[in-house]
Amino acid sequence: MYNMFIVLMVCIFTMLGTLVLTPIFKVFARKFKIVDEPEARRVHEKVMPTMGGITIFIVFFFSSFVLLPIPTSQIMPIFAGAAVIVITGVLDDVFELKPLVKLTGMIVAASLVYVLGDVALETMTIPYFGTLTFGSWQMPFTILWIVGLTNAINLIDGLDGLASGISMIALTTMGIIGFFFLTIEEVSISIMIFVLVAAIAGFWPYNFQPASIFLGDTGALFLGYMIGVFSLQGLKNATLISLILPIVILGIPVTDTLFAILRRTLNKQSISAADKNHIHHRLMSIGLSHRQTVLAIYCVSAIFSVIAMLYNFSTLIGSILLTVSVIVGVELFVEIIGLVGEERRPLLKKLSEFGRKLNN
């Protein structure tokens, strides 16, 4: 059993660690030209130090290895995959890797944590249908899950403090759910999650608008990877609802990723093609300022988190209704901001036609 006072002290130390290390790294980044140049696709207008997420990586794993009584066998596989993902991010921040090379790094990281650790979905219980065993599909599903969430956080990292703030909200929700609903043996997962939140919290003041340093792909990929791994830790023998929870918690980045793929497919573009039609771009295009857009997305992320917590207290029927409501709500949100395109608003058109019929 963990001493909660010691855990609290570790979290405080971790937050102070990134709070102190980040400005030191900023000086290092400027000296060695580790910077993000302004360009048409980006929102910032001046040269900014980047790769700041490496401070989160360093401080988090220092706390995990040195200060927390977590077995090395549990933390080492996560660290091995994280090291690969951070190296991939560093190379991308410095040399701007091709999408396929970047994807390869993510796949290697996800494969490492699967092979060395205990992160995999083995079975899933579906109401009225029984238990589904994944068997040989465990590894592909695990890799797809981790790579998918890693990409989702990376894609949403387009405004000051956006990816770091969303990650804190999502991880805090996962930590709370895990702390109260996982077994005693699995509480260490929640402890590590809270320590990671503390590490991000120490970095966040420098990253929130107006930012003085960016996460970089190093940080965004690392946070996405950790969220993917932690979200799978409690899903070894999942139910349909427990599988849905991480997707709901990460509602904003998951929605942004899925509709980016749909948008690019409909526009006959490569799914790896960059554009300025992500959720944050669309919110700014309808008149919100940089800071207002970030705060609005924080609020929507918090709503998704509350909905995710409600699943733990709902009946099966309640969970189905919640899921349907989320899907309809997301579709309306997507159409209102024109995430797929100004002309692609099928649900709003149907509602408009229905309204006209009622008035007639």
Cα atoms found within 13 Å of the Cα of residue 62, Cβ hemisphere only: 17
Known binding residue 217? Answer is yes
Known binding residue 3? Answer is no
Helix 251-266 / helix 290-311 crossing angle, nearest 10 deg: 110
How many C-beta atoms lie closer than 10 Å to residue 111's C-beta?
17
In one-letter notation, the amino acid at residue 335 is E
Among 225, 244, 53, 226, smallest CA distance to 151 is for 225
How many C-beta atoms lie closer than 10 Å to residue 350's C-beta?
10
Handedness of CA 110, 114, 115, 117 (dihedral sign): positive
Distance between CA atoms of 284 and 160, rounded to whole angstroms? 13
Distance between CA atoms of 285 and 204, rounded to whole angstroms? 25
Peptide bond into 210 cis (omega under 30): yes
The answer to whether the CB of 63 falls within 8 A of the CB of 195 is yes
H helical segments located in the chain: 4-31, 53-62, 72-95, 99-116, 138-156, 162-181, 187-207, 216-233, 240-249, 251-266, 279-285, 290-311, 316-337, 346-359
- Neighbour-count burial for 307-320, b at 16+ CB within 10 Å, e otherwise: bbbebeeeeeeebe
Binding-site residues for Mg(2+) = 154, 217
Binding-site residues = 154, 217
